[in-house]
Every structure is written in structure tokens, then in C-alpha cells.
Amino acid sequence: MADSMSTSTPAKKQIFISLRTKVLVAFTILFTVIFAATYYWFFVFSEERADNRIREDLMTTLVAAAAEIDGDEIVALYNEAAPREDGFTDDPRYWKNLEWLDTVHEIEPRAWLGTYIREEDDFYFVTDLWASYDPANAAKFRSDSFQDLQEQAKTMRARRNSRGDVGKSENKS
């Protein structure tokens, strides 16, 4: 009988974790979950508010800009004006329209406006505000180069933060 007692397995040692450590771990996990949920809610809420504000500002700017543009005059300009060698036109209606687009841009500096005519599935530029700031990258009068817009958009993004580097040109002569 003595042999059977000596062959039994020894008792496993249990790791002791104090009550203080258990409470600390529980509160850490609990507050991590609470703060993560609060951060997520605040992030989504803030992003939604900012997006709504941007959309409202955009619509306000576009409605105000469109209120002053005479569509019939733009169509007449497109049909009647002759382009210059540099791709723009000397027609006073062109420069009047550019002045209005620049006024809107001065009120809302993030807005870089232009006007165009749609014929069936094709779009043709009439005015592009960039003609006043950087004619080399502006859409030319009667231009149908919407494919070039992606390249122009890259240029505009690159210059967005350095607007002071782009001087206003004197194309109104």
C-alpha cells in the first residue's frame, strides 16, 4: 500500500493573482472598451458634421454663383465669339463672366469655377477661372478637352496650398 501512495501525481501549483491585480485588469479592459467606443462615436459624428457643412457651403456657393450667370449670354458667347491665338477670346462677355467667377472665388477661395456648354454627350468649356490665374493650365475657350481635366486637376491640387505663388495674369488686353 505504501507503493500506491508514492506513485500518485503531485498536486499542481496554482498561480496566485491578487485581487488588486484582477480589479486593475478588469478596469483597464472596461475603460479601454468605453474609450474606444466613445472615440468611434465622436469620430463618426465629427466626420458627418464636417461633411454636411462642406456640402452646405458648396451648394450655397454654387447657387449664388449660378444666380448671376446668364445662361443665354453664355450660349451666345460660345456661338458668336472668336477664339484668339492663345485659346481665349477678346469678347467682353468672356471677361465679364471671368470677373464674376473671380468674385465668387474671392468670397470662397476653395471654389475654382468655370462654365461649359453641353451638346449631346460632349462638353465644351466657355470660361475657366484659371485663365485669370494660370493661363497655361486653364481650359481654353471652346475647348472640348475634358480628358485633360485630370491633368489640370493634379496641377490645381499641387497649387492649392501655394496660391500665393500663382500670380494673376493680365490677359484682359
Q: Do the Cβ atoms of 125 and 114 come closer than 8 Å? A: yes
What is the reported pLDDT for 152?
Answer: 63
Rounded CA separation 128/144 (Å): 12
Residues 57, 46, single domain; the answer is yes
Judgement on whether residues 34 and 86 belong to the same structural domain of the protein: no
Q: Which domain holds residue 50?
A: 16-67
Which residue, 108, 95, 64, 116, is CA-closest to 168?
95
> Quick one: 140 and 75 in the same domain?
yes
Place 45 in a pLDDT band, splitting at 50, 70 and 90.
very high
Q: Are 160 and 88 within one domain?
A: yes
- Confirm whether 91 is domain-assigned: yes
Q: What is the mean pLDDT of residues 71-82?
A: 90
Q: Which of 67, 97, 127 is the last residue of a domain?
A: 67
Most confident residue range from 99-103, 113-117, 147-151, 168-172? 99-103
pLDDT at 168: 46
Q: What is the mean pLDDT of the chain?
A: 82
pLDDT at 148 over 80: no
This model's pTM is above 0.85: no
Residue 139 CA to residue 147 CA, distance in Å, equals 11
84 and 21 in a common domain: no
**Do 55 and 74 belong to one domain?**
no
Report pLDDT for 169. 43
Is residue 122 included in any domain, yes or no?
yes
